[in-house]
Amino acid sequence: MTETLLDIRGISKSFGALKASDDVALDLKQGEIHALIGPNGAGKSTLIAQIAGSLRPDSGEVWLEGRNVTHKDTVARAKAGLGRTFQISSLAMEDTVLQNAVLGALGARHRVPGFWRPVMRDGDLRASAMQALEKVGLEEFAHFRTADLSHGQRRQLEVAVALTLKPHVFLMDEPMAGLGADGSAILVEFLRNLKSSAPILLVEHDMDAVFQLADRISVLVYGRIIATGAPDEIRANAQVREAYLGEEDAE
């Protein structure tokens, strides 16, 4: 059987009376893209925060590569191999594109960064950063100020920074958001190739992309996972149609 790299074991999280996560179980296996979909307010962001480590679940556990990381913070989980992209681009906007990528490569070294040697002259870091930028097609923009990039390019840079970490698991929060049809198509191709190096837990609103890409889909509604299965199974699932896809059709 394929190895399970990320294992979410029955986590629950309440805010007052609101059950944002209700006994959620989810896993991610080597080589797959597992998409998480759900209507607005279903608790996707809360779930991601608990997987990334910025929010502690009330109960349940998060396992990463066979290790219980429930009580580890974001920094420790990043070091343990979780590569995360943010829904809203989260970059050092005043810095150049290359500097953002070098920051990732620096983090991947797992030690306190040096105080003395000029970091942008570090050949290894530069090479690793440029390699990531080339993979997402941003190499020509390396010396642009990040704030001067287009929205789509910032999304690409998000992915590039995650790549520099050489993670064992990708956690991607709506990477297609605001990309447009062309941009989405390119990223779909890219993620399809990327999954062989590390599996991807993909939270995405773009249904076309999800059904093209995902090996498995989980549907989150009101904090509960109501179904998990192959795209065809999900498409055929009556409960899902009612709770989620039906709404989409109605829009």
User: What burial letters (b/e) apply to 129-165, b meaning 16+ CB within 10 Å?
Assistant: bbebbebbebbebbeeebeebeebbbbbbbbbbbbbb
Q: In this complex, which beta carbon is closest to another protein, that of residue 18 or of residue 76?
A: 76
Least CB distance to another protein at residue 208 (A): 28
Q: How far is the CB of 217 from another protein (least distance, A)?
A: 25
CA angle in degrees (0–180, nearest 5) for 151-156-232: 105
* Residue 90 backbone dihedrals phi, psi, to 5 degrees: -125, 85
Q: How far apart are CA 122 and CA 120, in angstroms?
A: 5
Q: Is the CB of 119 or the CB of 185 nearer to another protein?
A: 119
Q: Kindly tell me which of 121 and 182 has the beta carbon lying closer to another protein.
A: 121
Between 68 and 90, whose beta carbon lies closer to another protein? 90
* Strand 200-203 versus strand 33-37 pairing type: parallel
- Give 170 or 244: the residue with its C-beta nearer to another protein: 170
Task: Give the interface with another protein as residue ranges (CB under 8 A).
Answer: 52, 54, 73-76, 78-79, 84, 86, 90-96, 99-100, 102-104, 106-108, 110, 112-122, 125, 145, 161, 164-165
Other Cβ atoms closer than 10 A to 76 = 13
Q: In what order do the strands lie in the sheet with 82-85?
A: 82-85, 169-173, 200-203, 33-37, 216-221, 224-229
User: Nearest approach, Cβ of 173 to another protein (angstroms)?
Assistant: 11
Least distance (Å) between residue 247 CB and another protein: 31
Tell the smallest beta-carbon distance from residue 172 to another protein (Å).
Answer: 12
In the complex, the smallest distance separating the C-beta of residue 239 from another protein, rounded to whole angstroms, is 34
DSSP 54-113: SS--SEEEEEETTEE-TT--HHHHHHTTEEEE-SS----TTSBHHHHHHHHHHHTT-SPP
Q: Whose Cβ is closer to another protein: residue 26's or residue 157's?
A: 157
